């Protein structure tokens, strides 16, 4: 082991570092720079913010160590040629073929791209559609910039969350922009082929522009096929895609993302509106993403296998120990959308679990704009990207706390 190794790393037969996801040291996880592990007291298990607890891929760590042996002056901030070439090749996997050479605009992160798109593609007062519940920066980007958020609630079919097509049709009338999350955070849906076709048809029928966040695209748990929204040439002229490596490769502290556009004029509208405001990725973030695409594929596949096991355990635990809770299969992401509305503590569930279970989760209310927050009171988002031991302990704490309150009843 080198001085950089941890108890969660081991040498494989070829002498390379491999990752043992079952051997996570909570003391090392709770390092001073970790907002996930230091926001709450030491007796709290954090399942809230979307960081994985697993060590970063050895290929990425090696590349970062190597990069630090050279100067850290200005990198290729207008677009690193090696990274651009690797991305063009990688994007073809999900259907984003024929992206022009100038169709990649590198960002400091996906959230910056969401704000830039709202700013560049709409005007103050315009209606912007999204589907709720939704990752908070979606509705915040709309309202912070003085646009009108039109949040269309997803429908629970009993088996999964689905799009309310009638409501989407009504919302599209007079709207300018659709903000799409695919895979969807927080429900974990991967929109299937029929849904994507209907969405594309709706966009074209109403002359909408689209900003789609595909940040979790590489975190497919294998239950559904992922296809980029702009894989269909019909919508390439009205769609911008934002993505990045931070979720798949657990590198959120190294901010980088990219905005992808087949239509360079559409991409330029956003670039002009955000000129000088977006900054640029760091030399280390560029090195990280290059290494992820070049050498961290096996690490990602092992991580997905582990996440599938954690998801299976979580689903079984909810079925057996929390039968009045609701949980649908997670198709993409490592985030589960747990329905605890039948419990009498539903309206204060985040604080209840923090105080009585010593588990930190995200509450459903933050995934909707102010006027729709009550719809998601009693839902919680759980991050299951941790060791099985930590996940088991957290879920046991939750089950004990909920049972001790004797507060199960009917929804509402």
Q: Distance between CA 402 and CA 407 in Å, rounded? A: 7
Q: To the nearest whole number, what is the mean pLDDT of the chain? A: 94
pLDDT tens digits along 152-206: 999 999 999 999 999 999 999 999 999 999 999 999 999 999 999 999 999 999 9
Query: In terms of C-beta density within 10 A (0-12 exposed, 13-18 middle, 19 or more buried), how is residue 329 classed?
Result: middle
Contacts of 324 (CB under 8 A, 6+ apart): 342, 343, 408
Given this model, what pLDDT does residue 412 score? 40
pLDDT tens digits along 355-374: 999 999 999 999 999 999 99
- Entry pTM: 0.94
Cβ atoms of 360 and 380 closer than 8 Å: no
What percentage of the chain carries pLDDT values higher than 70?
A: 95
**DSSP-assigned beta bridge partners for residue 181:** 213
């Amino acid at each position: 082991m080198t001085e950089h190794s941890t108890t969660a790393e081991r040498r494989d037969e070829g002498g390379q570092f491999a990752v043992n996801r079952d051997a996570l040291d909570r003391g090392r996880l709770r390092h001073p720079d970790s907002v996930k592990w230091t926001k709450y007291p030491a007796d709290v298990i954090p399942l809230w913010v979307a960081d994985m607890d697993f060590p970063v891929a050895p290929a990425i760590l090696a590349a970062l160590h190597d990069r630090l042996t050279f100067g850290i002056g200005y990198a290729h901030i207008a677009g690193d040629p090696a990274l651009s070439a690797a991305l063009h090749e990688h994007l073809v996997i999900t259907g984003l073929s024929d992206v022009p050479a100038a169709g990649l605009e590198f960002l400091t992160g996906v959230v910056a791209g969401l704000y830039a798109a709202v700013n560049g593609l709409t005007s103050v007062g315009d209606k912007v559609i999204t589907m709720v519940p939704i990752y908070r920066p979606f509705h915040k980007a709309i309202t912070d910039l003085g646009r009108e958020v039109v949040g269309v609630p997803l429908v629970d079919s009993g088996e999964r969350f689905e799009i309310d097509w009638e409501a989407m049709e009504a919302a599209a009338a007079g709207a300018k922009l659709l903000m799409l999350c695919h895979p969807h955070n927080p429900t974990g849906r991967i929109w299937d082929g029929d849904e994507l076709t209907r969405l594309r048809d709706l966009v074209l029928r109403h002359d909408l522009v689209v900003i789609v966040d595909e940040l979790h695209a590489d975190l497919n748990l294998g239950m559904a096929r992922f296809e980029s929204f702009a894989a269909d040439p019909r919508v390439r002229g009205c769609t911008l895609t934002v993505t990045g490596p931070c979720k798949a490769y657990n590198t959120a502290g190294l901010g980088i993302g990219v905005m992808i556009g087949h239509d360079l004029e559409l991409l330029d509208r956003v670039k002009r509106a955000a000129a000088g405001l977006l900054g640029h990725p760091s030399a280390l973030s560029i090195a990280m993403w290059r290494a992820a695409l070049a050498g961290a594929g096996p690490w990602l596949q092992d991580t997905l296998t582990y996440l599938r096991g954690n998801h299976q355990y979580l689903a079984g635990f909810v079925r057996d120990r929390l039968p009045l809770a609701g949980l649908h299969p997670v198709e993409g992401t490592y985030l589960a959308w747990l329905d605890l509305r039948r419990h009498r503590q539903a309206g204060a569930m985040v604080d209840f679990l923090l105080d009585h279970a010593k588990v930190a989760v995200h509450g459903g209310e933050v995934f909707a704009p102010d006027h729709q927050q009550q719809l998601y009171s009693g839902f919680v988002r759980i991050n299951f990207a941790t060791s099985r031991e930590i996940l088991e302990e957290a879920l046991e704490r939750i089950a004990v706390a909920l049972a001790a309150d004797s507060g199960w009843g009917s929804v509402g």
